[in-house]
Amino acid sequence: MRIGVLTGGGDCPGLNPAIRAVVRRAEAGGHTVVGILDGWAGLANPDATLSRPLNRDEVRGIQARGGTVLGSSRTNLLKREGGLDAAEASIKRLGLDALVVIGGDDTLSVAAGLAKRGAAVVAIPKTMDNDVWGTEGCLGFDTAANIVTEALDRIQTTTSSHHRVAVVEVMGRDAGWVAAWGGLAGGADTILVPEQPVDAAAIDRLVELVTRRRSYATGASVIVVSEGVQLPEALLNLSGDVPRDEFGHPRLDKIAVGDAIAAILEERTGLEVRCTRLGHLQRGGPPSAADRVLGARYGVAAIEALETGRWGNMVALRAGAIVEVPLAEVGGKNRPLDASYLRVFDALA
């Protein structure tokens, strides 16, 4: 088989280990691999230079590198007139027999569209938000959680020294997995996540927690806030002018949720409250050991699925095992944070 591989959506650590595994396992099976550059934008472009052959030498050592050697884009072919037609034309022009797609929910929704048309597609889930439906593990999440943990370790020391309140904004558009794992590991006092809209009562509880902790030895508090947390519009001052991507999502980097929470707390408590936005630090740098291993497992499983004709699926992690989930069941849904994590924070408050 001649197999194409692409990465779509936001970059994250773990993509390159998966690409490496796809190439090495494909070559071991007698197949050839073509890398599609810049995700769906590259595949839908008639310019053949947006692809390149991949072999074992090309991918040697890339498991230690963050990002993606293939490039990526936030391109929604489902919303572009003739988008899927253009992708199918490129698949035919490049002589591809199958396609491995590495991406999050939005990227996988396009993969599902191609699979529905009969394309031999197998997908690999990635997103540092860890919220792809149907899997318990997404590439990029473990590294992001580790980065948040290290950042909180550092923030804890300075807040304790100066008796301050710190609000730390982390990534997580629709789910609070990064906030929960990073917050628990980094000793945050509480978290605010998209699964729990922040209303007036929630703000009151937050003010009470910060005020109560002021009487402790350090007088410090650390609050982790997911970027996608739902604040009342009156508090957030969100206008209709916020830029959106091709999938219709608000550009969360343009909405200062953490700053809004910090301002509210400072006004209500009279304490000094500072906000730190970790931003793209969370998606940069080398992948963790866990993301490298998961990428290797996913890459091998994807090629094995193609070899046996089990396309139209996403390889997934469930109870430690690699399984397959129909792509038709994945798109348009998110896996929310398990409520048990919130109960742990309540118990430790």
Q: What is the pLDDT of residues 47-102, one digit of tens each?
A: 766 889 999 999 999 999 999 999 999 888 888 888 899 999 999 999 999 999 99
| E strand intervals along the chain | 2-7, 32-36, 51-54, 98-103, 121-125, 165-170, 190-192, 221-226, 273-277, 313-318, 321-326
Per-residue pLDDT band at 251 (split at 50, 70, 90): low
Query: In the prediction, which pLDDT does 81 show?
Result: 83
Catalytically active residues are 129
pTM of this structure: 0.90
Q: How far apart are CA 306 and CA 301, in angstroms?
A: 9
Looking at domain 143-284, what is its CATH homologous superfamily?
A: Phosphofructokinase domain (3.40.50.460)
Report strand pairing: 51-54 vs 32-36. antiparallel
**% of the chain at pLDDT higher than 90:** 68
Which of helix, strand or coil describes residue 315?
strand
CA angle (64, 65, 69) in 5-degree steps: 130
Query: In the prediction, which pLDDT does 254 show?
Result: 58
Give 191-222 pLDDT, tens digit per residue.
999 998 888 888 889 999 888 888 787 788 89
Give 293-311 pLDDT, tens digit per residue.
999 999 999 999 999 999 9
Calculate the average pLDDT of the chain: 90
Q: Is the dihedral of CA 252, 186, 102, 19 positive or negative?
A: positive
Strand ranges of the sheet holding 165-170, from the earlier edge strand across to the other edge: 190-192, 221-226, 165-170, 273-277
Is the per-residue pLDDT at 334 higher than 80? yes
Per-residue pLDDT band at 122 (split at 50, 70, 90): very high
Asked if 2-140+287-329 and 143-284 have one fold, the answer is yes
Q: How far from 193 is each of 57, 90, 230, 264, 346, CA to CA, in Å?
A: 43, 40, 8, 17, 14
CB 136 within 8 A of CB 40: no
Domain residue spans of the chain: 2-140+287-329, 143-284
Is the per-residue pLDDT at 168 higher than 60? yes
Is the per-residue pLDDT at 243 higher than 80? no
CB 114 within 8 A of CB 84: yes
Per-residue pLDDT band at 248 (split at 50, 70, 90): low
Per-residue pLDDT band at 238 (split at 50, 70, 90): very low
Average the pLDDT over 312-339 and give the result.
94
Give 105-114 pLDDT, tens digit per residue.
889 999 999 9
Identify which of 47, 51, 39 has the alpha carbon closest to the alpha carbon of residue 77. Answer: 39
Tokens of 297: 């497992």
Is the per-residue pLDDT at 12 higher than 80? yes
Average the pLDDT over 238-261 and give the result.
63
Identify which of 280, 275, 235 has the alpha carbon closest to the alpha carbon of residue 259. Answer: 275
CB 40 within 8 A of CB 87: yes
Report strand pairing: 32-36 vs 2-7. parallel
CATH of the domain spanning 2-140+287-329, picked from 3.40.50.450, 1.10.3720.10, 3.40.605.10, 3.40.50.300: 3.40.50.450
Query: In the prediction, which pLDDT does 234 show?
Result: 60
